[in-house]
Amino acid sequence: MTTSRPNKTPEDWWSTSIIDMKPGMIRVRGYAIEDLIGNVGFAEMVYLMTRGELPHPAAAKLLEAALVSAVDHGPQAPSIATARMAVTCGVGINNAMASAINMLGDVHGGAGEQCVSLYNAIAERLGGAAATDSRRMVEAVTLEINALAQQGIRHVPGFGHRFHPIDPRAPRLLELVDGAAKAGVVGGRYAAIGRAIEAQIAERAGRVIPMNIDGATGVIFAELGFAPPLCRGLFVLSRSVGALAHAFEEMQSGERNKGPIPRHLTWSYTGPPAREVPGKLE
């Protein structure tokens, strides 16, 4: 998605192909906003805004499933806890949502993006080979997992979960991808890649470490051709819904200045013992 940059005048400091506006007119990627409202769904709008074209309706449904799947993971998740704490501190709901999504860095929220990068790398190694070419697939997967290991990345992003032995969201998402591939809406190449990774991890580890939400949404995003940074943003959009819901609920509770843990729980202090400030005035 390259932005063409014609010679701009100094007044044209910003340049975008997303939106055009004149008084009384708003066009998004060329479409009049009043024609989009009520005619395209939210997932289609997300696709149009980020990709530049309206998607095939069935592709939109896949994207929508991915957006629905990641909205919440409970108050233990840093993003959700932050949203709840924030409203008890008296900030606005937009600030609570902002604080929540500001948490979605490479570790808490980055796995979907990292998965798609991994899937893309494997797809590139596969080149023109069929996804059913086991030898080529195993080879491509092996090389890329090894490459991760060399970067010190021990856990393949998208697989395994600290809380769920099997992440209940992943099989359902894959089922939808399989259906879309059967209908010819997507190619199915990335679903095959994801499964091949899962198989190889199981071999190496001696036990199944199943695909998780990031691995599964990553399959959808890759099938739909979303670049990795956009995948992070799509996870953020999804998790924003949970942030909003939890922030609003906490707002209703009337709690004030709620810290992360009950006050009767302490923290472990591991610093120097009590000592005097040198030269302090008595």
Distance CA 109, CA 232 (A): 7
* Per rule CB under 8 A, count of chain residues that contact a second copy: 145
The DSSP secondary structure of 21-68, one letter per residue, reads EETTEEEETTEEHHHHTTTS-HHHHHHHHHHSSPPPHHHHHHHHHHHH
Quick check: 207 binds a second copy (CB under 8 A)? no
Binding mask 211-230 for a second copy (x = CB under 8 A): ----------------x-xx
Q: How far is the CB of 52 from a second copy (least distance, A)?
A: 7
The DSSP secondary structure of 197-226, one letter per residue, reads HHHHHHHHHSS---B-HHHHHHHHHHHTT-
Quick check: 127 binds a second copy (CB under 8 A)? no
Quick check: 200 binds a second copy (CB under 8 A)? no
Q: Residues 73, 80: contact at Cβ < 8 Å?
A: yes
Q: How far is the CB of 254 from a second copy (least distance, A)?
A: 9
Q: How far is the CB of 140 from a second copy (least distance, A)?
A: 26
The CA radius of gyration of the chain, in Å to the nearest whole number, is: 23
Q: Residues 49, 18: contact at Cβ < 8 Å?
A: yes
Pick the closer one to a second copy by CB: 134 or 172: 172
* Site residues (CB under 8 A) for a second copy, limited to 40-69: 40-43, 45-46, 49-50, 52, 54, 61, 64-65, 67-69
Distance CA 68, CA 151 (A): 32
Q: How far is the CB of 215 from a second copy (least distance, A)?
A: 15
* Site residues (CB under 8 A) for a second copy, limited to 129-188: 162-166, 168-169, 171-173, 175-176
Q: How far is the CB of 195 from a second copy (least distance, A)?
A: 18
* Residue of 55, 59, 109, 118 that binds a second copy (CB under 8 A): 109
Quick check: 269 binds a second copy (CB under 8 A)? yes
Distance CA 113, CA 106 (A): 9
Q: Residues 234, 135: contact at Cβ < 8 Å?
A: no
Pick the closer one to a second copy by CB: 14 or 150: 14
